[in-house]
């Protein structure tokens, strides 16, 4: 085996595991697990695939409506007996027989992502679930990242983690203060109140939730309907996270990083260095137009190189983006950077041309016209960018005499 083969083979197995949705046949999954274990090339990937296999078996077994016990006593997926041996299977938690399943996808060892049905704006049809929801699961414990737009969605996440993956939620992390990410906290309020888990966020995000969420809750109700938002309320984090802190779920360690004034006033990143998975909250988009309303164009552009420097293999943000070969950069990073740079360039060019900021027709970005939310959001982004860039443009223009100030050079 050449040196380059030794580098490439683990990446191959990673790709195999990432591609494992729960619905793959059990026998296929068993074969893959066996191959991974015997190869010795990717023991973590093998464990994760084994967990997925057990989770699927558990999902099948729940249909038999076996006896139930209290909230405690959930099993780790690797300890769950296959459906063919129900007598040795650990009892399922209450309500699993009727719990709506979640189509979790295993994107790295211990890392599960529930994607929206399709790229779309918030609507009654999708109940506001337009962003990926993540869970890090190990040792029968789970950490949920951005639990969704409502109590109903958060509750579905909570139940599915118990019923499908045999895990109790110990942490809920809010990456930033946007309604479709944080109102799912409602489903975990009782557990936080009784000390079973902590909801965590940066101090600035907590403050922004307190300030903005009454309006954003009402806005979501207006967009998806009151019944979809039933029981949803603002549940503030009880734990403040700081730059450089480490969170631990089972054997998985997550590093906390903060970006100030980027997508919002405070955007929290979580980095799992062993899995090379980066949670980037609202900092990463692909196929949808980024939302700049509460952010800073310059701050956002300044934050993105820090994400790239980590060399993530998987990024979970407003989109899920996976490196093609485990080595190259996930495409969403480039896509987000390209849109924001194009927006900046277009606005500055319009200022150079003496245009009015309200003339949105002249500030179109046709390359992004097919991205979801372009009609709804691009115009707002232009206005936000204009307000932010105008002082910078004027500052650059100041030293020049009026006669020669037509094209200030601001180094772009």
Footprint of Zn ion (CB under 5 A): 178, 282
The three-point CA angle 334-340-344 to 5° equals 140
DSSP, residue by residue, 62-100: HTT---B--SS-PPPGGGSPPTT-GGGSPPBPTTGGGPP
By beta-carbon proximity to Zn ion, the closer residue of 49 and 268 is 268
Q: 76 vs 178, which CB is nearer to Zn ion?
A: 178
Q: Quick check: 358 and 382 in contact, CB under 8 A?
A: no
CA pair distance 8, 13, nearest whole angstrom: 9
Residue given tokens 């900046």 in the structure block: 344
Q: Please check whether residue 170 is in contact with residue 142, taking contact to mean a CB–CB distance below 8 angstroms.
A: yes
Question: Residue 203 or residue 405: which is nearer to Zn ion going by CB?
Answer: 203
Q: Which residue, 33 or 157, is less far from Zn ion as judged by CB? A: 157
CB 288, min distance to Zn ion, A: 11
| DSSP strands (E only) in 273-407 | 277-279, 314-316, 320-322
Closest approach, Cβ 176 to Zn ion, in A, equals 5
The least distance separating Zn ion from the CB of residue 282, rounded to whole angstroms, comes to 3
Q: How far is the CB of 259 from Zn ion (least distance, A)?
A: 12
* Identity of the residue, 132 or 282, whose beta carbon is nearer to Zn ion in the bound complex: 282
**Residues constituting the chain:** 412
- Of residues 159 and 178, the one with the C-beta less far from Zn ion: 178
Q: What is the spatial distance between Cα 212 and Cα 156, in angstroms, rounded to a whole number?
A: 25
**DSSP letters spanning 362-393:** GG--GGGTTSBTIIIIIHHHHHHHHHHHHHHH
Please, what's the largest Cα pairwise distance for the chain? Answer: 88
Q: Which residue has the tokens 């450089």?
A: 244
Question: How would you classify the pairing of strands 141-145 and 133-138?
Answer: antiparallel
Nearer to Zn ion, 237 or 282 (CB): 282
Shortest Å distance, C-beta 264 to Zn ion = 6
Which residue's structure tokens are 């690797």? 78
CB of 226 to Zn ion, least distance (A): 23
Q: Which is nearer to Zn ion, 110 or 317 (CB)?
A: 317
CB of 82 to Zn ion, least distance (A): 40
Q: Are 301 and 337 in contact (CB under 8 A)?
A: yes
> Least distance to Zn ion from the beta carbon of 235, Å?
18
| Mutual angle of helices 151-163 and 43-62, in 10-degree steps | 100
Q: Give 9-16's long-range contacts (Cβ < 8 A, gap of 24+).
A: 9/39, 9/41, 10/41, 10/42, 10/45, 10/326, 11/325, 11/326, 11/327, 13/39, 13/41, 13/42, 13/45, 14/42, 14/45, 14/108, 14/313, 14/326, 15/325, 15/326, 16/45, 16/49
Shortest Cβ 291–Zn ion spacing (Å): 6
- Residue 109 or 149: the one with the smaller Cβ distance to Zn ion is 149
**Which segments of 211-338 are extended strands (E)?**
239-240, 246-249, 252-260, 266-272, 277-279, 314-316, 320-322
Q: Which is nearer to Zn ion, 48 or 122 (CB)?
A: 122
Minimum distance from residue 201 beta carbon to Zn ion (Å): 13
Q: Which is nearer to Zn ion, 276 or 288 (CB)?
A: 288
Minimum separation from the CB atom of position 374 to Zn ion (A): 17
Number of H helices and E strands in the chain, helices first, is: 10, 14
Number of residue whose CB is nearest Zn ion? 282
């Amino acid at each position: 085996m050449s040196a380059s083969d030794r580098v490439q083979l683990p990446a191959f197995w990673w790709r195999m595991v990432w591609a494992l949705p729960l619905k793959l046949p059990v026998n296929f999954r068993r074969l893959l697990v066996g191959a991974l274990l015997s190869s010795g090339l990717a023991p973590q990937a093998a464990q994760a695939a084994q967990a997925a296999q057990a989770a699927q078996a558990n999902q099948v077994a729940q249909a038999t409506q076996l006896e139930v016990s209290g909230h405690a006593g959930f099993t780790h997926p690797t300890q769950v007996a296959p459906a063919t041996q129900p007598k040795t299977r650990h009892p399922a938690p209450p309500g699993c027989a009727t719990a709506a399943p979640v189509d979790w996808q295993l994107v790295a060892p211990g890392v599960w992502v529930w994607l929206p049905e399709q790229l779309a704006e918030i609507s009654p049809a999708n109940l506001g679930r337009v962003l990926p929801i993540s869970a890090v699961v190990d040792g029968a414990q789970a950490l949920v990242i951005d639990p969704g737009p409502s109590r109903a969605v958060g509750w579905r996440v909570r139940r599915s983690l118990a019923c499908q993956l045999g895990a109790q939620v110990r942490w809920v992390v809010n990456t930033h203060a946007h309604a479709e990410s944080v109102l799912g906290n409602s489903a975990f309020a009782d557990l936080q109140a009784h000390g079973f888990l902590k909801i965590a966020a940066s101090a600035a995000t907590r403050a922004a939730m307190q300030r903005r969420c009454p309006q954003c809750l009402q806005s979501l109700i207006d967009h998806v309907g009151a019944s979809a938002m039933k029981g949803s309320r603002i549940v503030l984090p009880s734990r403040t996270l700081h730059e450089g802190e480490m969170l631990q779920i089972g054997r998985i360690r997550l590093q906390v990083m903060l970006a100030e004034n980027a997508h919002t006033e405070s955007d929290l990143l979580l980095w799992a260095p062993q899995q090379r998975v980066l949670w980037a909250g609202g900092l990463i988009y692909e196929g949808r137009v980024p939302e700049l309303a509460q952010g800073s164009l310059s701050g956002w552009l300044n934050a993105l190189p820090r994400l790239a420097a980590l060399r993530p293999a998987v990024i979970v943000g407003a989109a899920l983006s996976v490196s093609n070969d485990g080595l190259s950069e996930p495409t969403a990073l480039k896509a987000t950077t390209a849109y924001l740079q194009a927006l900046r360039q277009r606005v500055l060019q319009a200022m150079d041309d003496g245009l009015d900021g309200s003339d949105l027709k002249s500030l179109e970005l046709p390359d992004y016209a097919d991205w979801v939310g372009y009609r709804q959001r691009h115009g707002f982004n232009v206005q936000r960018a204009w307000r932010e860039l105008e002082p910078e443009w004027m500052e650059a223009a100041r030293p020049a005499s009026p006669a020669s100030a037509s094209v200030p050079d601001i180094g772009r």
